[in-house]
Amino acid sequence: MKKIATFFGIVIVALLLIDRSQFYICNSYQCREVSDSILLNFLIISSLSILILCFLYFLPRSAFIKWWKFARTAIPIILVISTIINLQLHHNSNSFLNMDNMFDLPILIVMYVIFIIGSLWQIWKGYKNR
């Protein structure tokens, strides 16, 4: 568990350093907006994971094992979907009243809520099986 917590901690620090030091080059506002939103999603999911790991440190090992089985599939799925949303690959230039952006934020919020509720559910199941 310490290796996983260290990994997520390094990811969070690396994302903050990349964002602050601007190692990547963006010449336009659109490029900067997309890269910032992608980094923000990675930062959110990494922060949620490290908070859950800190919480799991005080629970029995069975709770951690249940959560990790859920998290190792949920985290990559959420990151891929949020990256696709933030790259705006699903948007059309001729959409109806330019309403493509209207559904992006609710979809991201729903995915993060599902991750949090799923994590809590798996932790509870692992705690009960103790």
Contacts of 92 (CB under 8 A, 6+ apart): 100
Q: How confident is the model at residue 1 (pLDDT cuts 50, 70, 90)?
A: low
Whether the pLDDT of residue 37 is over 70: the answer is: yes
**Cα-based distances in Å from 68 to 26, 43, 50:** 36, 19, 12
Task: For the chain, give the percent of residues with pLDDT over 70.
Answer: 79
Q: 8-17, pLDDT tens digit by residue?
A: 778 777 777 7
Count the domains in the chain: 1
Q: How many whole angstroms separate alpha carbon 126 and alpha carbon 130?
A: 6
C-alpha span between 122 and 59 (Å, rounded) = 12
Domain limits for position 20: 2-128
Q: What is the pLDDT of residues 101-129, one digit of tens each?
A: 677 778 888 998 999 999 999 989 888 88
